[in-house]
Structure 1
Amino acid sequence: MTTTPVLQAGPDDRPAHRDPNVLRWLGAYAASMAGDGVYYIALSWAAVQAGSPAQAGLVMSVGALPRAVLMLGGGVIADRFGPRRVVIGSDAVRCAAVLAVAALLFLTGLGLWPLAALALVFGTVDAVFVPAVGALPARITGKAQLARVQGMRGLAYRFAVIVGAPLGGLGVAFGGVAVAFAFSGLLIAVSVPLLISVRVRELPPDSTTTAWRDLVVGLRYIRRHPVLAPLVLAIALGDLGFVGPLNVGLTLLAHERGWGASGMGWVLSGFGTGAGAAALLLAVRGRLPHAGRVAGWACLAGSVAIGALALVPSVLAAVGIALLIGLLAGLSGAMCIALLQTHSDPACLGRVTAVSSLASLGLAPLTMPLSAAAIGAWGTGPVFVVSAVVCGLGGVIALGVRDLRRAELPG
């Protein structure tokens, strides 16, 4: 970790799917995300077994607060120390923490305090891990490959979800929670040697300013940028309108319609399939023309589909609409992130990623209890429509601001 393999300066025209450096990073990312999937299954199951439903909910939400509060500082750390070093350190800490809790649970049995402490550690580490992960692709490949890398990253994430959740369930079923946590730690551990071998494009260090000054400079850089300022706002609105309905709202909708857990599972699989198709499209094509327009129109069309989801009576129709939502939201999200990375100064990309991620990972989850309360008061239809309007505003901004509407990805 003290010696960083350096990628030679200058653009790399090698396709990302044929670049061993990118593939090593992708393997590390997939292993880390699969470990996360096992961790969340194990944590939720252990919390339910160890305490009341209210206590279990508290344990599951403990990590959200440090992630939201520390995210902007995490972006400063990623830019100051380099995203590769930060990701390696984050995965090492998460691996050590989850293995330590696995050993503790094996020796002493279930308890709420170790689970809450683990959730707190994960939330704190996520505050630096998320900005660093977002900043890393721009250091390992050329700008012309960033859209393809986003598609490949989306596919890796879908693969990790498919692998991680069943592994977590099998670990709990056959070995107990401690074994499931051990699975999680070992999967995260796989990412560390892969990350150590990844070559990055290093930037000149700048230690002449304070961390607070770095944060102020980063926020000012975003505010004054003709593309990034509206783009970050569009991403925030899209996430705020999307997270509530597609999480707690979908559960309540399935209950209201009588679809049951299996029906909800089919709807979620439709969404995942659509998002995977969008990721595959970008991974194969590598670049779509008129990126700003595509992101804006996909966001608008996706918002209409979100509103329509609450109006369909049958599971089959809901699955079809969910597939469309996944396709449009996946396409819009991937294009927005690719634009974010290609239009940002690499020296500020950690801070830019932190600001854009703050809405989706810090603020948007807070809309879930509000969505649930609103659905209880007014029903699913009005709440889904309001959420669709909020999401659609992101598309309106993307299409209404000229510089963002005309933004392109490098060819």
Structure 2
Amino acid sequence: MTATDLPTVPTAHRPAHRDPNVLRWLAAYASSMVGDSVYYLALSWAAVQAGSPAQAGAVMSASALPRAVLMLFGGVVADRLGPRRVVIGSDAVRCAAVLAVAVLLLLTSPGLWPLALLALVFGTVDAVFMPAVGALPARVTTHDQLARVQGMRGLAIRLSYVVGAPLGGLGVAAGGVAGAFGLAGLLIAVSVPLLISVRVRDLPTEDRAAAPTPWQDLRAGLTHVRRHRVLAPLMLAIALGDLGFVGPLNVGLTLLADRRGWGAAGLGWVLAGFGVGAGCASLLLTVRGRLPRAGLVAGCTALVGAVAIGALAFVPGLVGAVGVALLIGLLAGLSGALCGALLQTHADPACLGRVSAVSGLVSLGLAPLTMPVTAAAVGAFGLGPVYVVSAAVCGLGGVVVLVAPALRRAELPR
């Protein structure tokens, strides 16, 4: 890899939550994520208004295919060009695309085609943006602060969920779909100058060499994951956790609220409980910086969290469901944050974009495919059996962590 990301981070040690450089990166990340939330709300609203439900669904899913197909090569791009440069370029392209569609919608009523094209652009750019986002924290702070940064990143994600949807709704109410797209573009644009001001660390000289071709780079990255005593079982654990978690906590939870008679308000309260729990897990890592015996804690919290996921389908009352959801958020959030921190600290910095791409391919490419499967299974077998099977899949992720000696004993750096 070439050393393109200059200037470099000073060597003086400073906790991440007090480091202006990290805080600039966090502000850029939060602004971009809030812009994403506004964009997705505006896209879904515009698609529903412009076409049939089936057409709207096609537009909303249009970004999934290029993201899944190109994600691994996006990791190669992030490692070759440097994650900071890739994130800046990705945000600039996404901002320009959203603002162009906003202007188009303001001037005319072109139908669904610009929305579908925008979704395809976002999916293609996301394929390089997401691996670069995963690789950037290791370049903006020291190794011992990566767990704390992972917690701070989790808090930013929770903030984007809480703030983004209401902002998107206000944007649609005040300026129509064009206004909401314009707001999303401006929020993403805020991240660009902040990212330009972020200083990054150089890779060690011996880690900068890239393979002659992107294919060889990709193979080297996959080999690094496959042969690593911590990363290989960690990727399997993350995959099992995502595959078992996404369906029940998305479409499954909607069906559960409907069948229990909780309504949309009840669903909102359950989701809020989950969000509060996950936010508390991120806050814990942010404050503590590290937890001892991180691998063991990640495996145990994944197992207990899996039991809570299975129990959610059998809780009859709304108050109890909110409490169980809070527990799931806390346990699954802590396990996920620790797995993310272990990935950040054990991967070779020169391969971190490709390692993040492998993880993102499962989380963002494969796991969402379980949602229609979950809905069909609930219709065929009922909520209880589906939640139990999903909990078992999540629990297998915890078992993988606990039976892999190197991963079970893995520690976060001091």
- Whether contact under 8 Å (2:211, 2:217) holds in the other structure is no
Amino acid at match of 2:412: L
Query: 1:207: how far off?
Result: 4.5
| Alignment partners' CA distance in 1, 2:198 and 2:272 | 33
1:405 is matched with which residue? 408
Counterpart selection for 2:386 from 376, 383, 387: 383
The structural deviation recorded for 1:4 is: 3.7
RMSD value over aligned CA atoms? 1.2
Match of 2:374 among 355, 366, 371: 371
| Alpha-carbon distance in structure 2 between the residues aligned to 1:142 and 1:170 | 39
Query: C-alpha distance in 2, partners of 1:8/1:90?
Result: 22
The equivalent of 1:114 in structure 2 is: 114
Task: Count how many residue pairs are aligned between Structure 1 and Structure 2.
Answer: 409
Which amino acid in 1 is paired with 2:350? A
Instruction: Provide Cα deviations, 1:156-187, integer angstroms capped at 9, x if missing partner.
Output: 11112222111100011121000000000000
Q: State how far apart, in whole Å, the 2-side matches of 1:35 and 1:141 are.
A: 25
SS in 1 for 2:359: helix
1:222 paired residue number: 225
1:275 counterpart residue number: 278
Tell me if the contact between 1:79 and 1:350 (Cα under 8 Å) persists in the aligned partners. Answer: yes
Alpha-carbon separation, structure 1, partners of 2:9 and 2:273:
42
Q: Deviations over 1:28-82 (max 9, x none)?
A: 0000000001001100111111111111111111101111111100011110100
The structural deviation recorded for 1:7 is 2.0
* 2:349 alignment counterpart: 346
Post-superposition CA distance 1:329-371 (Å, at most 9, x none): 1100110010001001100000001101111100000010000
Give the alignment's TM-score, normalised by structure 1. Answer: 0.98
- Give the distance between the partners of 1:298 and 1:110, measured in 2 at CA: 50
- Whether the 8 Å CA contact 1:293–1:405 is kept in 2: the answer is yes
**Aligned partner (choices 294, 307, 310) of residue 307 of structure 1:** 310
Q: Which runs of 5+ in 2 are unaligned?
A: none
Corresponding residue for residue 71 of structure 1 = 71
Match of 2:45, SS state, is helix
CA distance in 1, matches of 2:394, 2:351: 27
Match of 2:396 among 390, 393, 397: 393
Query: In 1, are the aligned partners of 2:292 and 2:412 still within 8 Å (CA)?
Result: yes
Equivalence map 1:119-158=2 (5 Å): 119-158=119-158
Q: What is the Cα deviation at residue 109 of structure 1?
A: 2.1
Q: For the residues of structure 2 that align with 1:296 and 1:125, how far apart are their CA atoms? A: 33
SS class of match (1:409): coil
Q: CA deviation at 1:8?
A: 4.7
Write out aligned runs for 1:6-17 (5 A): 6-8=7-9, 13-17=13-17
Q: Is the contact made by 1:5 and 1:198 (CA closer than 8 Å) also made in structure 2? A: no
1:48 matches 2:48: yes
For residues 7 and 411 of structure 2, the distance between their equivalents in structure 1, rounded to whole angstroms, comes to: 28
Give, as a single letter, the amino acid of the residue that structure 1 aligns with 2:109: G
Q: Contact 1:46 / 1:110 at 8 angstroms: preserved in 2?
A: no
**Partners in 2 of 1:288 and 1:111 — Cα distance?**
52
Write the distance in 2 (CA, Å) between the matches of 1:329 and 1:246: 11
- Pairwise CA distance, 1:6: 2.4
Output the CA distance in 2 between the equivalents of 1:353 and 1:99.
Answer: 29
Q: Deviations over 1:224-272 (max 9, x none)?
A: 0000000011000000000000001101111111111000000000000
Alignment correspondent of 2:239: 236
Deviation at 1:374, TM superposition (A): 0.5
Task: Judge conservation of contact 2:83–2:353 (CA < 8 Å) in 1.
Answer: yes
Secondary structure of the residue that 2:209 maps to in structure 1?
coil
Q: Which amino acid is 1:128 matched to?
A: V
Matched ranges for 1:306-325 at <5 A: 306-325=309-328
The alpha-carbon distance between structure 1 residues 88 and 116, as it changes in their structure 2 partners (threshold 3 A), is: same
How far apart are the structure 1 equivalents of 2:227 and 2:211? 23
> What secondary structure is seen at the aligned counterpart in 1 of 2:134?
helix
Structure 1 residue 83 corresponds to structure 2 residue 83: yes
Cα deviation for residue 110 of structure 1 reads 5.4
